[in-house]
Amino acid sequence: MSIIKRNNFSFTDVVSLIESPDKIYLSDAAKSKVLKSCNLVKKLSNEKEAIYGINTGFGPLCTKKISVGEIELLQENLLLSHAVGVGEPIDPFISKIMLLCKIISLSKGYSGIRLEIIERLIYFLQNDLTPVVPKQGSVGASGDLAPLSHLFLPLIGMGYFWKKKEKVPADLILKEHKLEAFKLQAKEGLALINGTQFILAHAIQGLSKLNYIFDLADLAAAMTLEGFQGSIAPFKKELHDLRPYNGTRKVADRMLMLLKNSENTKSHINCERVQDPYSIRCIPQVHGASRNALNHLKELVQIEINSVTDNPIILEDGSAISGGNFHGQPLALAIDYLTVAASEIGNISDRRIYLLLEGLHGLPAMLCEKPGLNSGLMVTQYTTAALVSENKSMCFPVSSDSIPTGMGQEDHVSMGSISGRKLLQVINNIEKIIALELLNASQALEFRRPNNFSPMIESNLSLIRKHVKKLESDRLLNHDIEKMIELVKNKLIKVNLDL
């Protein structure tokens, strides 16, 4: 697969390429554009006129002219001085996403970088050479400077690679692979560390996880509805055609399919209950609103993957434009929005768990045979309450903040890097909340036998029971919870309805 011929890579394409890096290569057309751009930079570097980032300093030092003889040292110093990240390293998979997204951006042919450097980055991905990148230090404008500096230090023989779970100096790994460290040329350091790839990589990782989690949340909700013996009337197409949000209609359709041919659902059609609580009745509206936010970020991420986000940009006519494509605001706002939307999925899930434990409509209190002697699943909701509260504390929109940097030259920043990291923290908690809803819903379903449930729910209940047995009396639940979380994190529960 040529990663440059196309201009419409989605986040799923990026994940797929990282999982199959042998498919990454540059088309001849892309190579030609890269070479042309590189030659233009060489020409510009010899101009007497000051051209930002090519023969000048950076940021507030943009008026300091650099001599031709010092240009290579300038680019190396840029990486060394900007590699100031702190904190624990990011997940190596996110580092790989950053690498691939930077390759795509550089290969557009507007960054003035040598073809050999892009090919070296492809070599890194294809040979599982993943740079170590600290989590903290980017303000999300002027590019993700600190994390990108760490990501590309190995190009000049500095920094670290991962070797399994160990950090190994990059120069040692380069020697193992018989690779020479690069001496950076004009514009190359700036092209590497200017860009939004840290923010973008976190957004891609978040989308990849939430694509599954939102589908799983619908399944968990359907299982809870079966256990609670709720009504399926609120999911009728006619209702949602009157308020036709895409997310709402999709969730309503999914709920009907998840509950299709359920003997249990049909068994109480003529019961005296008028309506269900909001956490069941309003599943399409709440889950659907979160899906709308997810779809919005998907659109923006696709644009960002296929964009050029460094600075300055080298146009085909040989001119260099100093602009602000590195500013993370377009992603930061939407990531904060999705963080709130994702948090709500956990919030409503906790409410459904609470409903199942109350002892209503034929279910025993705490979902156990002898409540009092046994606490059953009572305290699992304490855990979800804690996780939901923790998520709420992370819903402050970081993109509403800005602290000037660079002696006032960079006087408005996006903080999108923090938005991205926070999104993944919220998602990590939601995985646990949904796992606990599935645990409670599975237990509730046991009390609705001999009724049969829909085929999808029966299939997943059978899968869950292979790992977690029905709770007959109090036992150490920690092992059950860990098993459920493992099923969720490894995407082992079937959720695809081809909608």
Q: What is the pLDDT averaged over residues 130-153?
A: 97
Token pair in block for residue 111: 């960054």
Cα angle 9-10-15, degrees, rounded to a multiple of 5: 100
Task: Measure the CA–CA gap between 193 and 43, rounded to whole angstroms.
Answer: 22
Determine the pLDDT at residue 217.
98
Task: Measure the CA–CA gap between 285 and 326, rounded to whole angstroms.
Answer: 36
Amino acid making up residue 470 = K
CATH number of 11-195: 1.10.275.10
Determine the pLDDT at residue 61.
62
pLDDT score of 57 more than 90: no
Q: Which of 53-67, 220-234, 289-303 has the lowest mean pLDDT?
A: 53-67
pTM: 0.96
CB atoms within 10 A of CB 263: 12
Residue 184 Cα distances to 130, 173, 175, 466, angstroms:
20, 19, 19, 56
Longest CA pairwise span in the chain (Å): 86
Q: Following CA atoms 111, 113, 119, 122 in sequence, which dihedral angle do they give, to the nearest 10 degrees?
A: -40
Q: What is the pLDDT averaged over residues 358-373?
A: 95
Q: What is the pLDDT averaged over residues 202-221?
A: 98
pLDDT band at residue 262 under the 50/70/90 scheme: very high
pLDDT score of 1 more than 60: no
Q: Following CA atoms 69, 71, 73, 77 in sequence, which dihedral angle do they give, to the nearest 10 degrees?
A: 150
Determine the pLDDT at residue 473.
96
Q: What is the pLDDT averaged over residues 238-252?
A: 98
The domain segmentation of the chain, as residue ranges, is: 11-195, 202-489
Amino acid making up residue 233 = A
Residues designated catalytic: 52
- The better pLDDT of the pair 4, 470 is held by 470
Domains 11-195 and 202-489 share a fold: no
CATH 3.40.190.10 fits 202-489, yes or no: no
Residue 457 Cα distances to 117, 182, 219, 431, angstroms:
51, 56, 8, 19
Determine the pLDDT at residue 69.
78
Token pair in block for residue 197: 């790839």
Percent share of the chain, pLDDT over 90: 87
Amino acid making up residue 435 = A
Determine the pLDDT at residue 233.
93
Helices assigned H by DSSP within 83-196: 92-106, 115-126, 145-152, 170-176, 188-193
